[in-house]
Structure 1
């Protein structure tokens, strides 16, 4: 396998599989298909990161059989080659809001159990300044400081949109006060991006978990909260997944977990509103389709409504779709 030849073939393809930080391209080889992941230089960092994905995949190869195998990694150009996992994405089998297949629910439970038992000694070193094992308030502080940075790094048009929609200057103020009261739990490996598009169900029933670029070393309760937030589950599946995590977690990971799960769910709602004010605002500004604009405005309104209980705003949060569309029109240039 000539890795750079595969990269060149993938780089010229106009079509790619879903991915925010990477273009994912299926490329055929004599030995079968592989997945070429090309890092996107245009993606703004919107998530906390701990390791390079290839470094982590190499480290967990013997511990997490549900992760894809890393076949090659390069830095210049920045790309990876993974084994191609045939099957159907979970969002194709069960879209958001629909009940998950029993096989997926069982696979997620097993996956949580696997992650929670990967030894720290198997993982790469954490970055300088990363909180010490068990410092859950420090871990939560990293998450919150990321959102603060996102809130203030945009240009004047983005700042104007935040102000017009009532997103507070410091959306993390309320949650930061709560973060200091989090129970201390030992850190574990977190996938931190387990959602329907990152799970592949093979014909055998085996479920593979993709996209490890956001994996973290941190509070295990956060992985559950992130998963529940991104899955758009039915109430029944939500209870099933929450109970599954509790069954999977060692006792030492469960100290105060129910109260702290609410904290992290509030964080996810708040972060989603801050990040998606920019993402959805640009999408609204970039379409001439009135129905599409309306749909996007309704979605952003739901995100802002969900975030409102978790921040202290000086001005009312704007959640009327018509007002959101008007604010985007005033603040963001058409693209």
Structure 2
């Protein structure tokens, strides 16, 4: 039986016509993505749309990723170009391999890659709120004033509290409670992450992990997936990057120090107090992951109306590890045992 084509796939077939090529869908959680080779052209573009019934746990600040990429052309090196195809703005597909697929051990990255990531942070520091003319999707009341790092982080805490915890409480409230995740955890979180130094804001990618870096055949590093970009505290971009990359300790330290030199060389006011504040923002990232991963891991165990028993042990281990890392910022009195976590997930 031939599987029914989705709307995205049908649009892809229409765009390339009889003489083009459609590849995909590519692997990805949030989007259904196809790579299109247009007839008579060498350019390869991506067509993607959000998957149906996918939960989104990240704040979005720009209305159009493609509009942002166009604005950044010539200001940020090695980002996808945008082409108009049949009235649609599509990103050029970057050919290469992501850092996640590279065969390096102990999560260490090579020095040339390290240097290119530092260069990206340096370029981002040049893009300030007053030099970026792209339509924003967040309301003015949801934007912190330039330099107000406490206000910037508080808005992210509010987003997790309202859009992840409270919004999903009807379906996952019992699970949160059984794991010891109560509303007062956000009171404790605010106490533990407040008091940040004022830093000058700039553009943040806000999602710089191994799958969003692509090494092309010339070993040039490209950054993709800019949909979570925002304007805010540059230290948040570094903290998010360190948290998602899970560097070996020595390379994490070097990345932080090189970030401070690079960004401070562009705007000294963007690195004020960074050494004291980095752990606070990392604590927020650990806490944020608890609420999002409780939901994601629970959903990953669903196999139709049954439980995917094969995935259960790894889900339990991962959730206990994540909760242990976030115990201090969330003020958790105890971490549930693996048997308690498994029972809660199964219920």
Normalised TM-score (structure 1): 0.88
CA distance in 2, matches of 1:304, 1:97: 23
Of 38, 57, 60, the residue aligned with 1:46 is 57
Q: Find the counterpart in structure 2 of residue 124 from structure 1.
A: 134
Q: Runs in 1 of length 4+ with deviation above 4 angstroms?
A: 94-97
In the TM superposition, 1:1-335 aligns within 5 A as 7-9=11-13, 15-30=24-39, 31-32=41-42, 33-52=44-63, 53-72=65-84, 80-94=89-103, 97-120=106-129, 121-124=131-134, 126=136, 127=138, 128-129=140-141, 130-149=143-162, 150-250=164-264, 251-286=268-303, 288-313=307-332, 316-318=334-336, 320-330=337-347
Name the SS of the counterpart of 1:145 in structure 2. helix
What is the CA-CA distance between 1:138 and the residue it aligns to? 0.9
C-alpha contact (below 8 Å) 1:175/1:263 kept by paired residues: no
Does the C-alpha gap of structure 1 residues 275 and 312 become closer, same or farther in structure 2, counting only changes over 3 Å? same
User: In structure 2, do the counterparts of structure 1 residues 67 and 96 end up closer, same or farther at CA, with 3 Å as the change threshold?
Assistant: farther
**RMSD, aligned α-carbons:** 2.6
Moved more, 106-115 or 94-103: 94-103
- CA distance 1:163–1:106, change in 2 (3 Å): same
- Cα deviation, residue 17, structure 1: 2.2
Give the corresponding residue for 1:333.
Answer: none
The 1:323–1:18 alpha-carbon spacing in structure 2 relative to 1, beyond 3 Å, is same
Say whether the 8 Å CA contact 2:23–2:34 is kept in structure 1.
no
In structure 2, do the counterparts of structure 1 residues 98 and 220 end up closer, same or farther at CA, with 3 Å as the change threshold?
Answer: same
Equivalent-residue separation in structure 2 for 1:329 and 1:306 (angstroms): 23
Tell me by how many angstroms 1:15 deviates.
Answer: 4.2
Q: Could you tell me the TM-score, scaled by structure 2's length?
A: 0.85
Tell me the secondary structure at the aligned position of residue 208 of structure 1: strand
Q: Whole-Å Cα distance in 1 between the matches of residues 77 and 203 of structure 2?
A: 14
SS of equivalent to 2:217 = coil
Task: Report deviation, 1:103.
Answer: 2.1
Contact 2:301/2:308, CA 8 A, preserved across alignment: no
- For residues 300 and 9 of structure 2, what CA distance do their matches in structure 1 show? 34
Aligned length: 322
Provide the C-alpha distance between the structure 1 equivalents of 2:14 and 2:291, rounded to a whole number of angstroms: 33
Q: Is the 8 A contact 1:10 1:25 kept in 2?
A: no
Instruction: Report how far residue 49 of structure 1 moved.
Output: 1.6
Structure 1: gaps of 5 or more residues: 331-335
**CA deviation profile, 1:65-89 (whole Å, cap 9, x unmatched):** 22111224999xxx75211111111
Cα distance in 2 between the residues matched to 1:166 and 1:234: 31
